[in-house]
Amino acid sequence: MLLTIVSFVVVLGILVFFHELGHYWVARRNGIVVEEFGLGYPPRLVKLFTYDGTDFTLNALPLGGFARMKGEDAGDTSPGSFNGASIGGRAMTLIAGPAMNFVLAIVLFAASFLAGFPSTAGHPQFTTVAPDSPAAKIGLQTGDILMTYGGAPVQVSVDEGARATVKPPAANAAAPAELVVSRAGELVSLPVSDARQIQAAVDGGQYVPVLMTQITGIGQDSPAQAAGMLSGDLVLDLNDTVITAGNPLNQEVKEHLGELVTMTLWRQTEWVDVTLTPRAEPPAGQGALGVQIGPVTEMATLGFLPALWEGVGSTFEYASLVLQLPFLLIAGRMSPSDAQLTGPVGIAQMVGGAVSATIDTGLWFPILRLSAVLSAALAITNLLPLPALDGGRLLFILIEAVRGRRINPEREGLIHMIGFIILLGLMVFVTFRDLSSAPQGIDWAKLMGQ
């Protein structure tokens, strides 16, 4: 519980700090006086310091923060006040907060790709082994599939640009430091004393990732069950056609409905061949084979520029998904239960789970990825055209620009105050709902293939 609370306060504090820093920085450059920059909400605990006329304070309620500008919610239009600034100055000041969170989301997403992220992975099957190549020097031949090294799977990332590192065997590993490859259906051991030799062979070799589709469940009375397939089996081929990223299992199965087929599976330490007939009309809830499948994942990394590009793409992809939610709900393509709002309690539980996963696994991906999502969510939420939010204030500025004159600042301030009370009530409602239910956590270990 203590870890969850501390983690939540720290993560939320960082996200809010950068949000308010955006407001503060742009406000000052537009001649707007920022009277107080507060972390947390009042009552005030301590004034940390004063800089250039702004009091920097630490407050008692660690659920947010604020940059209080002169005359922000009053009729004050005197020089230095928020309402006294130009339309452009006020608009840029309001946009700056969400913009900072978007930038922070990009940085955090990029950091998660740099530090290591779960990537669909497979065992490399060498399509060509050139003479005197690093692969040839350790005894590999064309067609070899790298299976294990020191007892651990040898896998490569399927995602373009990602790189999975070949792990050296543990110092106390029971298995000898040897590379096991599958050659024409037989397991062959090659003496390799250094994982860097395998890494060099993979980095400089020509191969295709295979064995990246895993059986995760078997349906009752299904062809898969009758054939003896087991959860955990990895699929190599169907009727000698290798299953790859470009030729997925479900696509290959559709071409053989009602036909007797043979599948080659890797089961822990051996190859297994099974024969079965995919059903053209399977019962409800089951597919043609009667199996559940999932990708095999391995932690991989990206270089700086690819990671930064993926950070930008992930941020806008998440923002697009959130903006599509109302339309998905109306169209019936998403159920309300799948799009439930989560309040501070639910978010705190998610943050606590991510921090625990990072501590348990030693991998930074959980906390970096969740923080990136929360930062993007904070940006999008604040841009909604609702009173008291940055988007609501921007809406009033847009109306002012269209009308050619502004709405009375005191009346606008009252509307924002009412909106704040409504949002606070909504937060209380969502918090009680989170307390009365058990929000489903993220299985980070499973997601990362740990």
Given the structure tokens 């000698």, which residue do they identify?
Answer: 240
Residues 152 and 81 in one domain: no
Are residues 347 and 443 both part of a single domain?
A: yes
Burial class (CB in 10 A: 0-12, 13-18, 19+), 143: middle
- For residue 247, CA distances in Å to 115, 240, 254, 315 come to 30, 12, 12, 29
pLDDT of 172 over the 50 cut: no
- Nearest of 197, 208, 76, 92 to residue 142 by alpha carbon: 208
What is d(CA 154, CA 128) in angstroms, rounded to the nearest whole number? 18
The answer to whether position 357 is within a domain reads: yes
Residue 383 lies in a domain: yes
> Domain check: are 6 and 111 in the same one?
yes
Domain, as residue range, for 191: 119-210
Give 39's strand partners. 58, 65
* C-beta separation of 22 from 100 below 8 A: yes
pLDDT the model gives residue 386? 85
State the average pLDDT over residues 22-26.
95
Q: Are residues 133 and 161 in the same domain?
A: yes
Looking at the structure, do residues 133 and 218 belong to the same domain, yes or no?
A: no
Cis peptide leading into 43, omega within 30 of 0? yes
Residue entry with tokens 């503060």: 24
Q: pTM of whole model > 0.75?
A: yes
Please answer whether residues 306 and 364 qualify as being in contact, where contact means their C-beta atoms are separated by less than 8 angstroms. no
Check residue 257 and give its pLDDT.
Answer: 93
What is the pLDDT, as a whole number, of residue 379?
93
**Nearest CA among 79, 78, 58, 82 for reference residue 68:** 82
Domain end point (choices 158, 181, 210): 210
Whether residue 92 sits in one domain with residue 9? yes
How far apart, in whole angstroms, are the C-alpha atoms of residue 8 and residue 64? 11
- Residue 17 belongs to a domain: yes
User: Which residues have CB under 8 Å from 309's CB, separation 6+?
Assistant: none
Q: Choose the final residue of a domain: 210, 242, 269.
A: 210
For position 335, what pLDDT does the model report?
60
Contact 158, 210 (CB under 8 A): no
DSSP secondary-structure letter at 223? H
- Flag whether 328 is in a domain: no
Q: pLDDT digit string (tens) for 71-85?
A: 876 667 788 988 888
User: Counting beta carbons within 10 angstroms of the beta carbon of residue 382, is it exposed (0 to 12), middle (13 to 18) or buried (19 or more)?
Assistant: buried
Question: Side chain identity at 440, as an amino acid letter?
Answer: Q
Site of tokens 């019936």:
332
Tokens of 370: 């969740």
- Residue 442 and residue 349 share a domain: yes
Q: Do 206 and 246 belong to one domain?
A: no
Chain segment 225-248, per-residue pLDDT in tens: 999 999 999 999 999 999 998 899
Confidence bin at 168 (pLDDT 50/70/90): low
Q: How far apart are CA 341 and CA 335, in angstroms?
A: 13
Provide the residue count of the chain: 450
Q: Looking at 49-58, 95-104, 211-220, 434-443, which range is the least confident one?
A: 434-443
Please tell me whether residues 96 and 125 are part of one structural domain.
no
pLDDT exceeds cutoff 80 at 259: yes
Question: SS3 helix, strand, coil % of the chain, rounded to 5?
Answer: 45, 25, 30
* Predicted pLDDT of residue 83: 84
Amino acid at 377: A
331 Rama class: left (phi>0) / alpha (psi -120 to 50) / beta: alpha
Looking at 184, 210, 236, which one is the last position of a domain? 210
Mean pLDDT, the chain, rounded, equals 86
Same domain, 377 and 442: yes
Percent of the chain's residues with pLDDT above 70 = 89
Q: Are residues 102 and 19 in the same domain?
A: yes
Residue tagged 């469940």 (tokens):
217
Q: 277-313: per-residue pLDDT in tens?
A: 999 888 888 889 999 998 888 888 888 999 999 999 9
What distance in Å separates the CA atoms of residue 298 and residue 406, rounded to the nearest whole number? 56
Whether residue 313 is contained in a domain is answered as: no
Q: Which of 165 and 18 is assigned the larger pLDDT?
A: 18
* Within-domain flag for 303: no
- How big is the chain by its Cα radius of gyration, in Å? 28
CATH of the domain at 264: 2.30.42.10
List, in order, residues 6 or more apart from 33 with CB less than 8 Å away: 53, 69, 70, 80, 81
Q: What are phi and psi of 279, to 5 degrees?
A: -85, 135
Choose among 16, 15, 12, 19: nearest CA to 99: 19
Q: Which of 75, 100, 94 is nearest to 30 (CA)?
A: 94
Residue 312: inside a domain: no
DSSP string covering 63-77: EEEEEEETTTTSS--
Neighbours of 3 (CB within 10 A): 13
pLDDT at 46 over 60: yes
Of 115-124, 173-182, 280-289, 330-339, the poorest mean pLDDT is in 330-339
> What's the structural domain count of the chain?
3
Other CB atoms within 10 A of residue 313 CB: 12
CATH number at residue 179: 2.30.42
Q: Looking at the domain assignment, is residue 329 inside a domain?
A: no
Q: Indicate if 6 and 97 belong to the same structural domain.
A: yes
